[in-house]
Chain A
Amino acid sequence: MQSIQLGGIDYSILIIYSLFVLGIGFALKRFMKSSEDFFLSGRSIPAWITGLAFLSANLGALELVGMAASGAKYGIATSHFYWVGAIPAMVFLAIFMMPFYYGSKARSVPEYLKMRFDERTRCLNSITFAVMTLFASGISMNALAKLLHQLLGWDYNLSLWICSGVVLIYVFKGGLTSAIYTEVLQFFMIVLGFAPVVYLGLKDVGGWETMTHSLSNVAQDPARLGLAPGSYAPDAWSSAWKPLLGGPTANPMGVDLFAMVFGLGFVLSFGYWCTNFLVVQRAMAARNMSAARRTPLIAALPKMLFPALVIVPGMIAVTLASLGKDGYRLPPKMLVESAYAKAVPAVKEAASQKLDAEAAAKRIGEAAGVKMFPDRVAALLEAAPTLDDKSLRNHLQNAVADTDYDGVILSLVKRYCPSGLLGLALTALLASFMSGMAGNVTAFNTVWTYDLYQAYICPNKSDGHYMWMGRVVTVAGVLLSIACAYFASNYSNAMDIVQLVFGFVNAPLFATFLLGMFWARTTSHGAFYGLLGGTLTSALFHSLTLAAGNNPGLKGGYLGVAQSFPSEMAQNFWLASFAFSACFLLTLVISLATQRTKTNEELKGLVYSLTPKLKDEEQAWYLKPTTIGWALLAGCVVLNIIFW
């Protein structure tokens, strides 16, 4: 695929956007008077702003890119990550958990753990969270810089440093407030930048009906487009639940109903939305309790509709590829320099030995590390003697059969956007990346300063000292994320291990919070050892199970394969379910066997049964969190029925 050419107008839109986000940082600098201002925005922000920021912070670049990729791979069932895997948890956070997070005046999620249990749980949670945040940010930066390099021809290092530099400056100046404010601006940028691409795509394929019709052809023979092997029911790509009800073999995700509903919909989703400080921090910055509770609810409405913006593009791309419209194909995996170096001699060798198409495709494919189309390789071999180096490379790239799903969204941007709109769409992509990164940086600097530095390294200093530390650690956090990005680009296997380990820690986490918040009898021993036990259960589960098509090792099964799953996703969801259950039971049992260390009085405001119920009768009925929550859940059910 040729790189996209940007014009002067496109660059000017990009520059205007950058100037505005930087300007917000500078404009807010004079309001940063205390560490509360810097880390918590002085708890002064209206709900609609924290709500949109809540959503934006969660929406890293990987989400836009990754959800379009999943939309292509799995079709509309990808929306389960929203309607099952997000909305219920967001409503639960707003109605049941925010009163304790906000009401306890904890400055971070780990600090809540300290108030509820003890230092051990806080320490475990804050260290894993801090490290995980840095790695998450690094992985996303690496992915973005790679994408920009492949598709725009931008220099990897330059895009990495400039994007992070912009984020660094505005967070450094305006702290959490400027992260939140820019996230709101980025939210609108993302929506308004991608909506026209979706509109043009849908119009191009001939509307929703035509799209679902061609998707039914795709479902019966997905291998033709290089998607999943096998054959599925015609509605496997165009309905959300029917393929799932048919069991793991009937849907391209390879997931069963229980794993989807309990594993994703309960364990993973509640674990992320209700305990991840990255998002909860936005709600904590709200100006009062009702604003804090409305924050996740305000975020839930756009979140519910986001599949139209991020999943539909993937479905459009598959439709286009299935129709072969104007020669469109799903973007092939890009060959890197070292792959060319091996593939070009292989082509010459195959041409001189006059191998047949199949054998040549296999030989060259092995050299380049990808699958090749035999017919295109045959054409290439025929033409090879007359081709110069550059067109030989183009032909080679064209013959690659593996799909680079992450390139799907940009392949549509490239296809539909004239100069002008192109700038807007790319700015939207960069905005999504920056909002995610700023979210990571602000969550990291707060946890570091309050939960590690102030708690263990340097307590009892002046407020000004901690604010200074916050600024220092903002710089350090950005630099460390950049280091993680380079690490991810050089050692992608090591990165997989890192992510795996964090998966182990995160899977059981929600059990600790659930018992802690809703059962006064939960003791600090129970919480800490339950969490450890849950983490060990995940590791053990992983070492004993394997997904179809994977070899024992990094993907699991290194202690033997006691159970195999049809897909990695299913393995993941089941792992989470097991880890959660283990953590839940262990916490329960250990709590019953150990003495409580906190009195009822100390737990007031931290545990449901010991806290006076919030009275929100004074608000208009339509502003009450419970009303909004029910309305959102009802909307979610309706969407599920429409796309059943």
Chain B
Amino acid sequence: MLDIRWPIGLMFTLVGAILVLTGALSSPESYQRSLGININLWWGLLLLLFGGLMALFAWRAKNRPDQPTARDPGSRQNP
């Protein structure tokens, strides 16, 4: 089955990159409304980090063939 961390990771990496680029290229005047903080740049970096971590987890799970966890102890106790 599809690992949901891939789409989450990729999407936030992409959106983060767009925000970082926007933040880096736009003039400081455009940040008056965000109290003078270049919020696109900073929040973009945070999204990049989050997206990157998600993708990293997904990648690790893919390369380390998971022990099937479906046999959790709880499942055998079904009433």
Contact = CB atoms under 8 A, between A and B. Distances in A.
Interface in A258-296: 287-291, 293
A12 interface: yes
Q: Counting chain A CB atoms within 10 Å of each CB, which of B4, B18, B73 scores highest?
A: B4
B79 A185 contact: no
A485 interface: no
A421 B38 CA distance: 10
Contacts of B22: 9, 419-420
A416 B34 contact: yes
A9 B73 CA distance: 49
Given A185-B7, A614-B77, A421 B70 contact: no
Nearest to B43: A196
A103 B1 contact: no
Given A20-B10, A28-B2, A188-B12, A619 B23 contact: no
A290 B79 contact: no
Nearest to B73: A618
Contacts of B79: 99-100, 103-104, 604-605, 611-612, 614
A418 B40 contact: yes
Contacts of A99: 79
Interface in A29-46: 31, 44, 46
Nearest to B50: A192
A293 B74 contact: yes
B39 A421 contact: yes
A527 interface: no
Contacts of A20: 7, 10-11
B47 interface: yes
A288 B74 contact: yes
A616 B73 contact: yes
Contact of A192 (B1, B18, B47, B74): B47
A181 B34 contact: no
Interface string B18-47: 110011001000110111010110011011
B40 A421 contact: yes
A52 to B, nearest CB: 9
A615 B33 contact: no
A325 to B, nearest CB: 11
Q: Counting chain A CB atoms within 10 Å of each CB, which of B30, B34, B74, B79 scores highest?
A: B74
A424 B7 contact: no
Given A31-B1, A616-B77, A288 B70 contact: yes
Main SS class of interface, A: helix
A224 interface: no
B75 interface: yes
Contact of A421 (B14, B43, B69, B73): B43
Contacts of B39: 196, 200, 416-418, 420-421
A226 to B, nearest CB: 25
Nearest to A24: B7
A192 B73 CA distance: 35
Contacts of A289: 72, 74-75, 77-78
A13 B13 CA distance: 12
A203 interface: yes
Contacts of B78: 102-103, 289, 605
B27 to A, nearest CB: 11
Contacts of B75: 287-290
Contacts of A420: 18-19, 22-23, 26, 39-40, 44
A383 interface: no
Contacts of B11: 16-17, 20, 185
A420 B18 CA distance: 8
A12 B18 contact: yes
A94 to B, nearest CB: 12
A30 to B, nearest CB: 10
A23 interface: yes
A40 B3 CA distance: 18
Q: Counting chain A CB atoms within 10 Å of each CB, which of B7, B23, B30, B77 scores highest?
A: B77
Nearest to A415: B33
A638 interface: no
B58 interface: no
A184 interface: yes
B35 A204 contact: yes
B8 A188 contact: yes
Nearest to B42: A196
A319 to B, nearest CB: 15
A27 interface: yes
Given A49-B4, A181-B4, A416 B74 contact: no
Contacts of B72: 287-291, 619
B31 to A, nearest CB: 6
Nearest to A624: B74
Contact of A185 (B4, B19, B34, B35): B4
Interface string A335-376: 000000000000000000000000000000000000000000
Contacts of A188: 8, 12, 50
Interface in B38-64: 39-40, 43-44, 46-47, 50
24 contacts: A9-B18, A13-B15, A16-B15, A49-B4, A103-B78, A103-B79, A184-B4, A184-B8, A185-B11, A192-B46, A200-B35, A287-B75, A288-B72, A288-B74, A288-B75, A289-B74, A289-B78, A291-B74, A419-B22, A420-B18, A420-B40, A421-B19, A614-B77, A616-B74
Given A416-B39, A619-B73, 4 more contacts: A24-B2, A184-B8, A192-B46, A421-B43
Interface of B: 1-2, 4, 7-8, 10-12, 14-15, 18-19, 22-23, 26, 30-31, 33-35, 37, 39-40, 43-44, 46-47, 50, 69-70, 72-75, 77-79
Question: Which 3 A-B pairs rank lowest in CB-CB distance, beginning with the nearest?
Answer: A290-B74, A288-B75, A618-B73
